[in-house]
Structure 1
Amino acid sequence: MQLSLNGPANHRANPNENLARELLELFSLGEGHYSEADVREAARALSGYRLDAERQLVLDPRRHDFGTKTILGRSADFNAETLAAWLAEQPATARHIAGRIWRQQVGTPPPPQWLTALADGWRLQQLSIPWLMGAIAAAPEAVESRERGLRLADPIEVVARSLGLLGSRHPDALALSLRGLRAMGQPPFEPPSVKGWPVNEQWLNLRWLQARRRSLQALLSDEEVWDSRQLPPELPATLTPIAPLTVSLPAEPTREAIAQLFADPVWQLA
């Protein structure tokens, strides 16, 4: 983000607002919960940071603005760390981030009343990520989403699940998977923007969906991958959130049965 959003160009004499704006809008408060003055002051707090020769983020005192900044009603000598701590205290931050994670994990927007309770509980837990993930997973809407197959899995989830089933550690498995992920729209560590990856129905793109099928077929048809497979004794019914349409589980782990499973729409569900 520092590189993508012109962080190294953020000098105290000419603050660059790109990183500050995205920090407030995407990764903390959310749209509508900050002012343009907050963006300008946050940019001052983030001034002077750069990557050193070891690619570590360091503060260059000559480029940093050590003056007092007023952000969300508080005046202090904010820097990156104290700004992040102050943003983490805001109720809007808990609500916004909890809502984004809910959407990614469940697939559907969170009910407003549930989101408020979730965000309040998360703040009481000092923003514990394990607590938040557990609370979301236990929500009735999340259980229903899994049981009804309401979320389309991210490409990397589908590939990881497929590799896990095949059990091959041959280099071809990794090479084919990486190539396939790029075709599916999710090359690792290369999101399309700082906002991140598509979610659920946003993956419903004909080119990407066709790439999912072709990539799994290529993985299964590679002889080196198949010869190095370590399959389970059977294909259990628990492999998919709901019953597949084209193959009955449990089933014998034959190449044909796995091909049917990989081609089944249910294999694409979270």
Structure 2
Amino acid sequence: MVTSVPNCKALPRDEKRSCKRQQTKDLQQGWLENLQASGPAGREAWQVQLWLGLFAVNRRQLGARPGLLTISMATIREHLDGGYGQLLEAMLLDPALQISLNGPSNHRRNPNENLARELLELFSLGEGNYSEGDVKEAARALTGYRLKADGQMELMPRRHDPGPHTILGRTEAFEAPSLAAWLAEQPATARHIARRVWRRCIGTEPSPERLEAVSTAWRAQDLSLPWLMQTLASSPEAEQSQRQGLRLRDPLELVVRSLQLLGSDHPDAIAISLRGLRAMGQAPFEPPSVKGWPVNEEWLNLRWLQARRRTLQQLLADEEVWDTRQLPSTLAANLTDLPPLALALPAAADRDSVAALFADPVWQLGLSPALR
């Protein structure tokens, strides 16, 4: 699916700033609302969010076109039922990812290694499983891609190094699709990506034996994304993490589940949430680096933890949000995986009970909603 994205760059200076602000506002508010959906739509949105964290692009890197991230989301959504190899190929030609890693400036006469290095280190093999020679050859294979006016990438032969290129022992005239396919065949890719998804969804570190077993079986399933998600969701490690509270929810997960419980559609709820998410370190579409957002225990930062508590307090204290609430009649026992420390569930859904729930540590614990 081709998604056309407005380009603010051609507008006068004042209008350009306004255009960028509006695109960013629409992007962040719209996504926060999408993540609140229930059922299959909500699960799909959280799986898109998961892969946005692995193919991380900060909207500030896109200059006058932050809306290009809508193409990234559409691309990920289209590949959720397929294999990782196909997703990798599609994302390697994603305009936002290309721009963020200097892909369009990668010319055969002056290869830029940024995209190639992150492709090998983060999106496929993992550190230690490739050589500097592989990086240089992959950079040559990725030369020549430019952004068209409609926001899609195209290969310009006069800018492309036709090879042959030797990458991981294979010599051929690689381009982005064939390179992605070759990388997806490598056992190291299955291990590295399975580990990254495991860490983000379950929170714990897989043992070498379990990682090898899961990644080997995943390769036998042609790197099927549904198979991987189902396997992780039903794993004993996921059950243990849930039962023992081993995963600290990402700020985005914490805010969304709090909004879902309150049920308010007042603009104040979104405004407070977005301000709070920025203070917590996870404003939508603003990952701190190409490695994505922190994971689990990496969120244990005093400033961020204080922002979590403060944001939930502000949501509950806002009279407009409270007056437009659509709380259930009772706070059910299954709202948390572990019994709250300071509140017995089920409980009446009044302001004091919700405040006690929001302040309780167990409200912050749980598996990634991408696994639900």
* TM-score bracket for the superposition, by shorter chain length: over 0.9
For the pair 1:192 / 2:288, whether they are aligned, the reply is yes
SS of equivalent residue, structure 1 residue 62: helix
Corresponding residue number in structure 2 for 1:226 = 322
Counterpart of 2:219 (choices 114, 123, 133) is 123
SS of equivalent residue, structure 1 residue 3: helix
Corresponding residue number in structure 2 for 1:50 = 146
For the pair 1:40 / 2:131, whether they are aligned, the reply is no
Corresponding residue number in structure 2 for 1:156 = 252
Corresponding residue number in structure 2 for 1:171 = 267
Runs of 5+ in structure 1 lacking a partner? Answer: none
The amino acid across from 1:30 in the alignment is: G
For the pair 1:147 / 2:243, whether they are aligned, the reply is yes
For the pair 1:8 / 2:104, whether they are aligned, the reply is yes
For the pair 1:91 / 2:194, whether they are aligned, the reply is no
- Rounded to whole Å, the distance in 2 between the matches of 1:234 and 1:141 is 31
Runs of 5+ in structure 2 lacking a partner? Answer: 1-96, 367-372
Corresponding residue number in structure 2 for 1:22 = 118
Aligned alpha-carbon RMSD (Å): 1.0
Between 64-73 and 148-157, report the one with greater CA deviation: 64-73
The amino acid across from 2:326 in the alignment is: Q
Q: C-alpha displacement at 1:42, in angstroms?
A: 0.4
For the pair 1:239 / 2:335, whether they are aligned, the reply is yes
Corresponding residue number in structure 2 for 1:62 = 158
Corresponding residue number in structure 1 for 2:171 = 75
The amino acid across from 1:56 in the alignment is: Q
- Rounded to whole Å, the distance in 2 between the matches of 1:151 and 1:157 is 12
- Rounded to whole Å, the distance in 2 between the matches of 1:213 and 1:92 is 40
Q: C-alpha displacement at 1:56, in angstroms?
A: 1.9
Corresponding residue number in structure 2 for 1:202 = 298
Corresponding residue number in structure 1 for 2:370 = none
Structure 1 segments (4+ residues) deviating >3 Å: none
Render the CA deviation track for 1:80-131: whole Å, top value 9, x for unaligned.
1111111111110000000111111111110111111100111111111111
Q: C-alpha displacement at 1:50, in angstroms?
A: 2.3
The amino acid across from 1:149 in the alignment is: G
- Rounded to whole Å, the distance in 2 between the matches of 1:161 and 1:53 is 39
State the percentage of identical aligned residues: 70
The normalised TM-score by structure 2 is: 0.71
The amino acid across from 2:101 in the alignment is: L
The amino acid across from 1:131 in the alignment is: W
Render the CA deviation track for 1:29-78: whole Å, top value 9, x for unaligned.
00111111110110011111122223222222221111211111111111
- Rounded to whole Å, the distance in 2 between the matches of 1:136 and 1:213 is 30
The amino acid across from 1:188 in the alignment is: P
Q: C-alpha displacement at 1:163, in angstroms?
A: 0.7
